[in-house]
Structure 1
Amino acid sequence: MLRSYRKALTFVLLTISISWGMAALYFALGGEWRTGDWKAILFGFVYMWIPALVAIGVQRGIYREPVVKPLGISFRFNWWFLVAWLLPPAIALLSSVISLAFPGVSFSADMSGLIERMAYYLRGFTPEQLEAEKSRLAAIPMWVFLLGGLIQGLLAGATVNALFAFGEELGWRGLLFRELAPLGFWKSQALIGLIWGIWHAPIILQGHNYPQHPVLGVPMMCLFCLLFSPIIGYIRLRTGSVLAAAIMHGTLNGTAGLGILFLKGGDDLTVGLTGAAGFIAIALVNLAIYLWGKPEKSQ
């Protein structure tokens, strides 16, 4: 059985080894994972492109097989591309509504809760600067901030974020999607999701997504990826293109913040898209795919 999945195993071992090795070197040399830091952005771009480079190396360099068609690089568009683009913000907003059902979580129109939650990333700010930022945000009408965030996230998701995400998706929903297909849709997507989550471990430990709980954040991220993998996998299946997966992934990254924009209370384990509330929202989408999507028959 291992022989049947040797290519997938080779890809996973190389990707994890190179990614974790590069992350260890970056952080050992004093690199930080901080919003707006150009070194962190550059590191993030290279880190996200390691799966793609390894996938191409394994597919073409080791196995001497073509890359474009087998890995799903297709520019044939259908309406599922639109679903890939619009579904992430819908899930993020649903997670925000579900978050309000958690104890101690309330609606915050002035976005003061967002500033408190972002304190880790704004740790270079003085208390006076934080208060000034709160006042500035409170002066902006809620609908303007929501609409602006949505438009910005959608535009970034289909452009620059998609470029970043393509580096990951060529590995996860390109090579692994094809090589693990014999397992069936749900089993293969669960395994891809688990690998995807584990791959994130070095940056999660540095505060990505779970700055309040970086250690607990590792299994939480694995669970998030496990749950979201079938959704991106289903988009990949319906479009036949890894480009749609990249757009969905990019838009997910660009609009995830909508889930915590107007929330006060809770923490990174409970509220927002990557918290327990988000897991419930994502699980509901998976349930819809299971009941009406028929992915096993399509695959």
Structure 2
Amino acid sequence: MESYIINDRAMNKQDPNIVQKSRKGLVVFFAWLVPLTFLSYILALHVSPIFGLLLMWSPGLSSVLTRLLLREGFADISFRFRGNLAFKSIPFVLLFPVIIGLLAYGFAWITGLADFVHTDNSYIWSLVISIVYQMFVGTLIGILSSASEELGWRGYMLSRLITAGVPKPILTSGLIWGVWHFPAILLGSYYSGPSLILSIILFMIAISSFNFIISQLRLST
């Protein structure tokens, strides 16, 4: 079984064999991803919304099927902890969305762009309890759906974009990740506000920025 561990030699495109195999892997990955995504939308819209879970699992399933078909192995998924480096990253991972959320919603509340609705003086404790709950219980629940996207986007596509010599692989992966969500935006799942175009632009800015953070975490840990 072949292993695609990212190293300086591969990133500098000094091994044409790895470059060629990585590009082939990307082709096969997208060959699985596109029909799985299309099928998931059809089933979710016409059979049951539960197939939305299949949609979220389509990137991960595509990466697993590609690995099996091309006999690439699974060593580079990196499920193992890397000592202190990984443990030092966990507090950042848990606090990052909290900080971003407080900054974004805090600005909206202070400026009046959004209303902060509460029923009594205990709302602060309710907010704190909700944040703590989402950080831990919400994270565990979210793994059921989002883990597959990580297996596909950061666990496979990003590493192959790097070893294939694609320019600006992190930015490219973020744009692909964002475009993959376009049907959901057009169907109203991510669409909020008076302008569809503005929603798409802001979504692409947000998801590309977020992708930069989690891609760096994936590559460094």
Q: Does 1:160 align with 2:141?
A: yes
Which 5+ residue runs of structure 2 have no aligned equivalent? 1-15
Once residues 85 and 178 of structure 1 are traced to their aligned partners in structure 2, the CA distance between those partners, rounded to angstroms, is 24
Match of 2:54 among 26, 33, 46: 46
Kept in 2: contact 1:193–1:226 (CA 8 A) = yes
Quote the offset at 1:236 in angstroms: 0.8
| C-alpha RMSD of matched pairs (Å) | 2.8
1:204 positional shift: 1.7
- Per the alignment, in what secondary structure is the counterpart of residue 209 of structure 1? coil
Matched, 1:194 2:175: yes
Give the percent of matched residue pairs that are identical in Structure 1 and Structure 2.
25
Specify the alignment match of 1:97 in structure 2: 106
Displacement, 1:54? 0.7
- Residues 11 and 222 (structure 1 numbering): CA distance in 2 closer, same or farther, change over 3 Å? farther
- Summarize the Cα distance change of 1:147–1:194 in structure 2 as closer, same or farther, 3 Å threshold: same
Deviations 1:202-251 (A, max 9, x none): 22222223233584334432332211111001111222xxxxxxxxxxxx
Q: Which residue of 1 aligns with 2:26?
A: 8
* Counterpart position of 1:269: none
| Greater fraction of residues in helix | 2
1:19 Cα deviation from its structure 2 partner: 0.8
50, 62, 72: which one aligns with 1:65: 72
SS for the counterpart of 2:76 is: coil
Matched, 1:232 2:206: no
2:132 aligns with 151
CA–CA separation in structure 2 for the residues paired with 1:221 and 1:16: 21
Partner of residue 96, structure 2: 87
Residue 200 of structure 1 and its aligned partner are, at CA, apart by 1.2
Q: Is the 8 A contact 2:170 2:212 kept in 1?
A: yes
8 Å CA contact retained: 2:60, 2:150: yes
SS at match of 1:158: helix
Cα offset for 1:63? 0.8
Structure-2 separation of matches of 1:185 and 1:154: 35
Contact kept, 8 Å, 2:61 with 2:148, in 1: the verdict is yes
2:153 is aligned to 172
